[in-house]
Amino acid sequence: MADAPIANGLFHHNNTTPPEHPSLLSLFSLKGKTAIVTGTGAGIGLAVAQGLAEAGANVALWWHTNKKAIERAAEIEQKYGVKCKAYQVNIKNAQQVEEAVNQAVKDFNGRLDVFIANSGIPWTKGPMVDGPIDHYLDVVNTDLDGTYYCAKAAAAHWRRQKIEGTDIFGNKLENFRGGSFVATASMSGHIVNIPQLQAAYNAAKAGVIHLCKSLAVEWVQYARANTVSPGYIATEISDFVPQETKNLWKDKIPMGREGRAEELKGAYLYLASDASSYTTGADLVVDGGYTLP
């Protein structure tokens, strides 16, 4: 592997190699691979973790305030016959993120294949001109900075695994083509939501999208980076929103309803697996058509 994917302003040829294609369904298999998913107490993160486990992955569930992730880990392990363990991690702390990634890799067969950076919080304070700075910092630190910290810690393992061809214990690494980083962005990274006002959230999610596009180039020799941009999904994160506002949302969605968290599992599995081996720097918008008109 070359020291960098670019020389003299031009990409090296054959920075990557295609996977074998014995069958379409086999490309979606994550059997024997390790995935970390953040924000897994409920909602999108939990649904995605379940989807990856169903595809055969061993999954580390990260949570910060929702202890239900501990119970969910036991349920996933029993239901899908994979290894699943919960870790309490504050993704706003870069050192804690790095230590948690390292620990999960040690606990899960010494390897890392997939990282789903899903943790996020909404803006709830109305117009930014009146919003408290500490809430701005909390939103941006969680939604954007936390994603950056997760990406940095995961990439260190993927680069080493690709260069050395071994797991963290020095054993030969089987079935590793490169890492897959998938961040939860939002359609709010593409449009300005109304009637609610949430400038900080919109900016953070736009940053997540462009961060992953940039990482897709930096990492091309050892990992892929993509985003999923959900629309309005019926999860706990929007419980604070009045029903009248949710009805206005539905007025603007061609499908006429909010999505369900499990309707996102296919998008994340595609990006996590070898089925998307030629997909990097992409953003999959899953919004019921909201951003179309």
pLDDT digits (tens, 9 = 90+) for 113-159: 999 999 999 999 999 999 999 999 999 999 999 999 999 999 999 99
**Percent of the chain at pLDDT exceeding 90:** 89
pLDDT at 18: 87
* pLDDT(256) > 60: yes
232: annotated active-site residue: no
Given this model, what pLDDT does residue 239 score?
A: 76
pLDDT for 252 beyond 90: yes
How many other C-beta atoms are found inside a 10 Å radius of the C-beta of residue 8? 4
Q: How confident is the model at residue 224 (pLDDT cuts 50, 70, 90)?
A: very high
Let me know: does 232 contact 252? Beta carbons within 8 Å: no
> Which are the contacts of 285, defined by CB distance < 8 A and separation ≥ 6?
187, 190, 229, 231, 291
**Residue 205 catalytic?**
yes
Place of tokens 């949302």: 249
Per-residue pLDDT, 130: 95
Average per-residue pLDDT for the chain: 95
Q: What's the rounded mean pLDDT across residues 150-177?
A: 96
Q: Which of 148, 205, 232, 270 is catalytic?
A: 205
Class of domain 26-286: alpha beta
Strand partners, 58: 34
Kindly report, residue by residue over 175-186, the tens digit of the pLDDT.
899 999 999 999
Is 60 exceeded by the pLDDT of residue 1? no
Mean pLDDT of 274-278: 96
pTM of the model: 0.95
- Annotated catalytic residue, options 201, 232, 270, 290: 201
Judge whether 80 counts as a catalytic residue.
no
Asked whether the predicted pLDDT for residue 172 surpasses 70, the reply is yes
pLDDT higher than threshold 70 for residue 106: yes
* Of 180, 186, 188, 273, catalytic: 186
